[in-house]
Each structure stands twice: as C-alpha cells, then as structure tokens.
C-alpha cells in the first residue's frame, strides 16, 4: 500500500465551509495526491497561506509538514468544491508534466487488455488509428519524452490525454478500468 507523501492544493477556504453552522469555522483545503491521485480534505496549519497549485507535504513525518496540520479525510470527486473541480484539470496537467518519465513509460509498456482492446485506447482521443501509430513507433524504439511520442506517433499532447484520463477516473467512480487513480 502506497501512501501519498505530497499533494497539490486545488482549493483553500481560509474561512472554512459555509455549510458549517459553527461560529468558529476552521480553514480547510482540498488537494489531489501526487502519485495515486487520491483526493483529500486537509486541515492547514494556522497562518499557512496556501495557494492553488501549491505542492504540500502530507506524509507521515509530522516534522516535515510545514503547511498542513492534518489530513482530515479522503474524499470523492463530488465532495470537492466547484472551484476545486475547476482547478483539477490544470493541476493534473502540471503533475503529469512534472512526472513526464513515469507517463512516457506508460506509453512504452502499455499492453492489450484483451484481443480486441488495448490499454492505450482508454486514453481519450486514442482510437484504432492512433493506437496503430503508437505501436508501430514503439517497434522502432522506446519513447523518451512527450515530444518524442508526438513526433514519432503523431499523437498530439500526450500529457493532456493522460491528465484527461486521470480526471475521468476521479470524476466517474464507475470506471471499469483504472490506469492511474488508486481505489
């Protein structure tokens, strides 16, 4: 079991949730994990000025938590604020770009699911024609970057395709296949 160590802030509510009727509402932040893309509700430390897109440590080592006091709970996509849902595609794209090597390896190693369907076809925008181009390009050698995938396989913006798939896995809990998001 892998635990998230870092998360990216999607929304920060310094005054807390409006639905809370308490007089002393506590600040709250919503975030997405960096490795398994889990969604979290976080309790920030007092005075921790968080901004959308900030990368924060949420791991077990409390000494390293400079901005987050507590991981309150793991949440589903529908529990995010509208602002967090709106920011999610941009933050996911940033995460994917920062982990380019990881996702290029996905293109290099993806295998068929069955005789008629390939894992790569789960990416939005990849159909039979694009799949054939990717598989032909892989025969010439491993991909080394997103740019290499674009150049050799003709797949435009592979980083955006990965980010879109992650967002789909987060927003639709009934996805049969999960490529990137932990259950």
Domain termination site, one of 58, 84, 110: 84
Backbone φ and ψ of 111, nearest 5°: -120, 165
Counting as low any pLDDT under 50, the low residues of the chain are: 1
Give me the pLDDT at residue 23, please.
Answer: 54
**Does any domain span residue 123?**
yes
Same domain? 113 vs 144 = yes
pTM of the complete model beyond 0.85: yes
Domain termination site, one of 21, 52, 84: 84
Give me the pLDDT at residue 182, please.
Answer: 87
* Angle formed at CA 71 by CA 181 and CA 182, multiple of 5 degrees: 10
What CATH number does residue 33 fall under?
2.40.50.140
Give me the pLDDT at residue 1, please.
Answer: 40
Task: Give 70's strand partners.
Answer: 43
Give me the pLDDT at residue 102, please.
Answer: 97
Same domain? 61 vs 103 = no
Per the CB < 8 A criterion, the answer to whether 9 and 53 are in contact is yes
Domain extent, residue 30, equals 6-84
| Cα(159)–Cα(95) distance, integer angstroms | 10
Q: How many CA atoms lie within 13 A of 106 on its CB side?
A: 20
Give me the pLDDT at residue 15, please.
Answer: 82
Question: Could you write out the DSSP letters of every residue in 30-51?
Answer: EEEESSS--EEEEEEPTT----
């Amino acid at each position: 079991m892998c635990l998230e160590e870092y998360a990216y802030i999607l929304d920060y509510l310094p005054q807390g949730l409006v639905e809370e009727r308490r007089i002393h509402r506590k600040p709250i932040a919503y975030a997405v994990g960096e490795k398994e893309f889990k969604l979290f509700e976080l309790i920030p430390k007092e005075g921790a000025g968080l901004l959308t897109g900030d990368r924060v440590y949420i791991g077990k080592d409390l000494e390293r938590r400079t901005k987050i006091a507590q991981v309150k709970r793991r949440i589903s996509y529908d529990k995010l604020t509208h602002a967090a849902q709106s920011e999610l595609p941009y933050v996911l794209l940033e995460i994917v770009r920062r982990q380019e090597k990881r996702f290029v390896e996905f293109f290099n190693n993806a295998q068929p699911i069955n005789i008629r369907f390939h894992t790569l076809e789960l990416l939005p925008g990849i159909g039979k024609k694009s799949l054939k181009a990717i598989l032909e390009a892989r025969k010439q050698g491993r991909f080394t970057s997103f740019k290499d995938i674009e150049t050799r396989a003709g797949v435009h913006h592979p980083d955006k395709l990965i980010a879109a798939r992650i967002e789909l896995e987060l927003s639709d809990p009934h996805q049969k296949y999960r490529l990137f998001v932990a259950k």
